[in-house]
Amino acid sequence: MKKSTLLLSLAGGVFVSIFMVFLVKYCDTQHAITNMLITYTAMVIAFSVIFVAIKKERDKNGGVITFGKAFRIGLIITAITSTIYVAVWLVDYYEFMPDFMDKYTAGIIQQLKASHLSPQVLKEKIDQANRNKEWYGSFLGMTLEGYREILPAGLIVSVIASLVLKRGGGKEQVVAA
């Protein structure tokens, strides 16, 4: 792996992790949709390093890069950045916020009760919130959920960046020397 790809991956991971820790610490569950939009925006910004890494590699290779090579660069950055995000979340949760899911689930249940749902639907949704809390309470569940949050954003940015920046080296392309 190239040093620049690794450094860009680390930068993306640190950025999104700092943002996530701040958001979880200082935002309440009453604005879950807004928090989710802010989090995904931060993820896309963090994954913008994929464009930089692919462009650097393309420039290094005389302006030529295939979709496959560009996508592999995006996948490497996605994997490293996502792993940093998940690792920081696990440390933050277990060391500093072990009651996060209790508070989060209580906030969700409070919102559900205020939404005037029928008693049967309300019970189903509360049961689902409690099942989610239980699943998230396990190390495996928490880890998988962390990756489920961030990986799709990285994959989407990887595909877009690879499509936008790919450039073949066929006869039709003139490369200035």
- Tell me the pLDDT tens digit for each residue of 45-100: 999 999 999 999 999 999 999 999 999 999 999 999 999 999 999 998 898 888 88
The reply to whether the predicted model has a pTM over 0.85 is no
Is residue 46 within 8 Å of 16, Cβ to Cβ?
yes
- Give the Cα separation of 177 and 53 in Å (integer): 22
In terms of C-beta distances under 8 Å and separation of at least 24 residues, what long-range contacts does 169-176 make, across chains too? 169/62, 169/64, 173/63, 173/64, 175/62, 175/63, 175/64
What are residue 43's phi and psi, to 5 degrees?
Answer: -65, -45
What does the mean pLDDT of the chain come to? Answer: 87
- Give the Cα separation of 58 and 56 in Å (integer): 5
3-state secondary structure of 48: coil
- Give the Cα separation of 40 and 128 in Å (integer): 24
How does pLDDT run across 133-142, given as a tens digit for each residue? 999 889 999 9
